[in-house]
Amino acid sequence: MGPKEFTNMPIGLGLDTGGTYTDAVLMEMSDGSVLCKAKSLTTREDLCIGIRGSISGFDRKLLSKVCTVSLSSTLATNSIVEGKGCRVGLVCIGYDYDGSVRTDFSVTVSGGHDLHGAEKAPLDEAAAREFLESLKGRVDAIAVNGYLAIRNPDHETRVRDMAKEILDVPVVCGHELSSNLGFNERTATCVMNAMLIPVIDDLLRSVRSVLEEYEIHAPLMIVRGDGAMMSEAMAKSKPVETILCGPAASLVGAMHMTGLKDAIVMDMGGTTTDIGILRDGKPRLEPEGAIIGGKRTHVMAAEIATSGIGGDSRIIVNGRRIILSSVRVMPLCIAASQWDCVAENLKAVAERRSRTTPEALGEDNIVLDSEMFRTLRIPEEGIVSTADMKLLKLAVDRPYTLKEAGEVLDLHPFSFNVARMESRGYIQRIGMTPTDLLHADGTYRRYDAEASMNGVRYMAGMAGITEEEFISRSKSLIRDKLCVELMKELIMEETGSMDLGDTAMDLINKSIHHEFGRDYGCKISLNKPIIGIGAPAGVYIRWVGEVFGTDVVIHEDADVGNAIGAITSSVSESVEFLIKPETIGATECKFEVFSKLGNTVYETLEEAVSASEALGREHVTKIVSEGGVSDISVSVDKKEKRFSFGGDGDDMLMDMVMTVTAAGKPSQFSA
């Protein structure tokens, strides 16, 4: 899309770095109109290339007028869903972690506090020091979480200081990220934050580098998981808060584009499909913390269901079964348009007679002849095996099949642990995807459709079916997966339960396929429209609307909806205070206040509430002001838990949670 006529009004640059595409929009902030938009392939090996490509066609005069840049990205969410990230060492204090999020090294040492912040057991500094000393040169970040450190962070801070003294790596403490109870959830959040530090740091450095090339010196903001903006500095220290920022931006963008305030938003990207609900013009926040890849966190984010299905999801044949995997790969059509060797390999395997092979034990063990591998980054020596290092060095300039690589390196193809290198982000697989299906059937042909068709021909032979049947069955898998994920989210909203059970799944499947069982059928209808976001939405999301009998709205700018959401978000910051009687049930007692700003005891409830509100207002106003907001509004929300004795007796305060929030638009937008 070309630029509109030149404008002197404030211009915002919205960027979204997704798993497949990097999107950019220039928006006139006075009326919210899109001046121009563009897409470029995300280049994970060098993010600058994709970012540069997304804005390279924009008018330099318009770029010179940019007053604020705002960024959303699925990189953090994708890294967690795909199990990727840096090497993390974890120190737990006073309690064992359940290991729901992977760490490379971990230890539990004595220590911890009680609900009032008193030391429950002394910190075993010797054990912590011995563990940290053993990690020299072996980790990229340290996570520290202590039992009830939200009531007293002393043990966490002592281990943090020790880690900084011993190791030259970032250190993250649980109390810095969450004030909620729940040791395992807080530990998972802390580990995720540590894993994501290099991911987000690399993204921000790449964006800054490209902005400098184009002489754009505007403030850089990043969208949080709740849909609000935060500063660049805060994103560097708390990258975990950018989890789900891509889909959160899509909710904001969907509302801005369509004007709909009550709708279901389905954002289908390269790696994931994200489902959220707009109610009365606001994304609903997940009060207990976002769930990423089935893992509960303490990240305050829009309630969004993230499923590992996107335009780049891997499609494989195992035995005769077609399987839709959550692993992200580079589509055959895109790879073939970049490297001739990919197109040549696909032509060769399509011409060979495919044959059915026995089912493998797991998807990770399957490497198809049509799949190739290319290097994204090379780790330090000693981190991967000698054979894997040889493959990584070989596949820097062009992709290879494992058979080809084995012949060149004089190694057996089974010598390479590609699944492990994929999980670490060292290597990328090239394979069949939903994007290839659209190219093969002619629905969408932006890249090498012949390569996609050759891949279909080869895999259809493996499955023992025709090419048309392979495309049809694969599309049905995608449709079914999207419909099931949507109903999971809606049923959880309605019932509060994440477990559908066999009965609900049976009803959903009957509704999806419009089929009757022996005695009954089922039809599910939605009472809200679906807003489709993302490049594949025009095809795949429309199918979902047809299944559930509701309208699907695809705006003309839906392909860059996240970038639009990024630049139309507001700056926001909140702080939470827990206020409770020092002795519950006593007629006269003092009141304790716990927050990330510190713990204090007050003589009366009124004094505790007043002092906490004043402290909170000062803190959030300062943070938001640093984000470039001048017209700031502050709101205070109080939720009480009380115990009633019954009858006409007075009830008693158990605790009060007070949330102080400051919000506003960057002042540059009103210039």
pLDDT digits (tens, 9 = 90+) for 197-216: 777 888 888 899 999 999 99
Q: Which stretches does DSSP call E strand in 110-262?
A: 141-146, 171-173, 220-223, 229-231
Percent of the chain with pLDDT over 90: 32
Where are any strands of DSSP class E within 420-480?
A: 427-431
pLDDT in tens, 378-407: 988 888 899 999 999 999 999 999 999 999
Residues 556-580 have pLDDT tens digits of 888 888 899 989 887 777 888 888 8
With CA atoms as reference, report the closest residue to 401 among 366, 429, 377, 362: 429
Q: Where are the beta strands (DSSP E) in 454-570?
A: 530-533, 552-553
Mean pLDDT, rounded, for 131-144: 89
Range of lowest pLDDT (83-87, 339-343, 611-615)? 83-87
Reply yes or no on whether the pLDDT at 1 is more than 50: no
Q: What is the mean pLDDT of residues 17-29?
A: 86
The tokens for 315 are 């499609």
Asked whether residue 6 carries a pLDDT value surpassing 60, the answer given is: no
Q: Return d(Cα 292, Cα 269) in angstroms, integer.
A: 16
pLDDT at residue 283 tops 80: no
User: What span, in angstroms and rounded, lies between the C-alpha atoms of 246 and 76?
Assistant: 9
Q: How far is residue 424 from each of residues 226, 368, 458, measured CA to CA in Å?
A: 28, 21, 29
For residue 268, the model assigns a pLDDT of: 87
Tell me the average pLDDT across 230-259: 81
- Looking at residue 44, what DSSP letter applies? T
Residue 586 has pLDDT above 70, yes or no: no
Strand partners, 292: 295
Per-residue pLDDT averaged across 246-260, rounded? Answer: 87
Question: H or E element: which one contains 276?
Answer: strand 273-279
**Percent above pLDDT 70 for the chain:** 90
Q: Are 286 and 173 in contact (CB under 8 A)?
A: no
Task: Report, as an integer, the average pLDDT of 140-147.
Answer: 88
Name the pLDDT band for 665 (thresholds 50, 70, 90): confident
CA angle (199 as vertex; 193, 203 as ends), nearest 5: 125
> Is 80 exceeded by the pLDDT of residue 296?
no
Closest CA to 191 of 166, 164, 173: 173
Please tell me the distance from the alpha carbon of residue 138 to that of residue 116, in angstroms, as a whole number: 37
What's the confidence (pLDDT) of residue 92? 93
| pLDDT at residue 349 greater than cutoff 90 | yes
Q: What is the mean pLDDT of residues 651-662?
A: 84
Per-residue model confidence (pLDDT) at position 287: 60
Domains of the chain: 11-80+200-308+561-568 (3.30.420.40), 84-195 (3.40.50), 313-471 (no CATH), 571-670 (no CATH)
d(C-alpha 617, C-alpha 271), whole Å:
39
- The answer to whether residue 2 scores a pLDDT higher than 70 is no
pTM assigned to the model: 0.72
Give me the mean pLDDT over the 138-160 stretch. Answer: 87
- How many CA atoms are closer than 13 Å to the CA of 204, on its beta-carbon side? 23
Report the chain's C-alpha Rg in angstroms.
Answer: 26
pLDDT in tens, 155-187: 998 999 999 899 988 888 887 776 667 788 888
Query: What is the overall mean pLDDT for the chain?
Result: 84
What is the mean predicted confidence (pLDDT) over 88-104?
85
Residue 260, pLDDT > 60, answer yes
Using one digit for the tens of pLDDT, what is the confidence trace for 34-55? 999 998 888 877 888 889 999 9
pLDDT band at 8 (very low <50, low <70, confident <90, very high): low
Q: What's the pLDDT score for residue 644?
A: 67
475 to each of 270, 314, 437, 544, how far by Cα in Å? Answer: 16, 13, 8, 12
Contact between 331 and 305 under an 8 Å Cβ cutoff? The reply is: no
Cα-to-chain-centroid distance, residue 600: 36
pLDDT over 50 at 483, yes or no: yes
What's the mean pLDDT in 521-549?
A: 87
Inform me whether the pLDDT recorded for 3 exceeds 50. Answer: no
Give the C-alpha separation, 183 to 92, whole Å.
10
- What per-residue confidence (pLDDT) applies to 298? 59
